[in-house]
Structure 1
Amino acid sequence: MRCLFMANKMYSAFISSAYESLRDERSLVIESLLDYRVFPICMEHFTASSSGRFSDIEELIDDSDFFILLLGSRYGSCDENGISWTEREYDYAVDTGKMTLALICDELSELIKLDDRSSLSEDQLRQIAFCEKISFARTITKDLPIPRIIGQFFSPVNFERCAGWVRTENEVRSQCKLEKWQQEHMAYNLAGTWYHVHLSAGDPNYIRTGKIQISQQFDPDNYKKLRFEGLNYNVKYDKIGDKLNQNMLKRTRWTGEYDINEAGEMFGLFHSKREFSDKFNEQVVEQGTRRGIHDFTVDVSENNLVEFFHGEFHDEAPSPKFGFIYAFRSEQARLDFLKENFAETLENII
């Protein structure tokens, strides 16, 4: 889906063919391209006599999103090495990984079908040889006309991944609109690193800390989808140093996909891999993989950058667990929260 504030983008296709022929076919290609907001780049005025630099053509191909080759019965004008300009253009497009469509016109198709090619000119034979080296080409027919072939070519294309081009003033205007939207929805921007703590209502000695990396594309179409990558560690409290020391050998990795709604309710499924066995409320929890549910709440009542969110975790059987999660933008904020609200828990893990 196109972002609400994305600037209107135009795309371009380099059309390569011998200009002296195929004028009708070229017109159909151009009309079909424009239906898809693809601007044609035609080289009928660019010949060996007007410029000796093939680098100019290479630059135009580089700047195009697509390369379309029209093949008729003529090989066309050649460079100083006897290679046609169209063949050089095609070779360059393929070598640089350009999305390419080759179209075989009726006049060339008839020549290719000939069993006896002895009467063909050198130019025609070279064009057939050029066509035969192309790994995949579409033949234009009454049942498969140019507009239909162009449509089939563009059908699987994700245009958002194409570079395209945008008028500078449109791009600036769209960026300003996006920045205004982001400012108005700051409370939903959760991307970045968070420092969490897992606690249990039934076991005052249970505490796990770690980090969560949240990925979020912050625009109107995508901000409600988030991805979490987290680490949990067993932890001890250093009262003298006033810090939490995490046991790097006793950890759990987890990932999850989450959705957030307009009310700041965030829900998702997580998958975890526990690297050690331990106890939770006197229940043995073996190492291994498991799944579960996270149910969070984010305060979006005031449009400020969120510094804190909280929720619950529910691990599935065979080691069902239930507890609470609190997440903060900084380690110090997490420690201050624990000292103020869970001082007894910290005393139990010294």
Structure 2
Amino acid sequence: MLDKRYQVFITTSGKEMQPERMVVSQTLIGMGFFSWGLEQRTPLSTAFARRQIDDCDYVLLLLGSQYGEQSVSGVGYMHLEYIYAVTKQKPIIVFMHENPEARSLELQEQRPELKEKFEEFRHQLQKEVEQVVCYRTLRDLELAVRSYMPQMLERNPVVGWVRPQNIQVLQDEIDNLKSQLVRSKIEQGKKEADPFLTLPKVSINEVFNFDYRIHVYQDGNFKELNPIRETTWLELVSILSQDFKEPLPEEFFSKVLNDYLNAKGLADVQLLMPRAHAVARAQINIRALHTIKQQMRNNEWILPVGRDDRQRMMWKMTEKGLKSIEVTQLIGRRNISI
């Protein structure tokens, strides 16, 4: 197996986040990552921070209860580093304290204008960043890093760093991938061995329940919930068919389904929080996502059709899937007319 390492740039508001920074850095090192970042910022350090962001694989933002040190323009250094990472299209993950107001008074912003900037920046991150994880204690933070960083590697694969002495290992892996590609072309059309294929086939009108995480807004407050979504396989096939009529990478399963949950989630959460007025950042349960993908394949509604030039598995809607939607809808219209 190729020995790869990934470099993570950690950005925080400043000294009050030193305990969190130490926990995250030590956890990342234990997981095989390199952690970077600047603890003290000055106008002269901005260029150095940008070079580190240019060279890193992932950006990790730690947000507690302060906006942090500000540049001469009045924008916080952490905020500037976030903006720069976005412009460089770096994969970003945010770990923010679940209840900033509950932290010690000395960790709070004392000036009203900085409190306002902090709240605005917090809401901006919740709105713009796909991976936002809340924590309460340092132990929660450590567990969250251990849980979510492997998911970042899966969702946002990058080249990483390879030791120079492993160049031959890298060449061997390239040769191995070429051999796999040749075999894949020879075996095209055959189903890949997969233990999930032993799942019993489901009826397209059968109900499927699954949970997901979503950010909920009520009375000016933000909260993360895990509601249950009840739907049918027909609805799931119909939703996915809108995008998978043409071959798409496997990662689009989560994107399409998360967009669907963002559109439908308010009705689900209002069963738990009747006064909720908005939702965002829906993320389907990984186990449910795998089940949906495997049932799509098992029932031959959506199937793998090879790999693209980046070796990503491509999936496409089948004629059987499209026909299943048409037949079911036709039967439904006939029943209504009767």
TM score, norm. by length of structure 1: 0.45
Asked which structure has the greater CA Rg, the reply is 1
Bigger share in helix: 2
> TM-score normalized by structure 2?
0.46
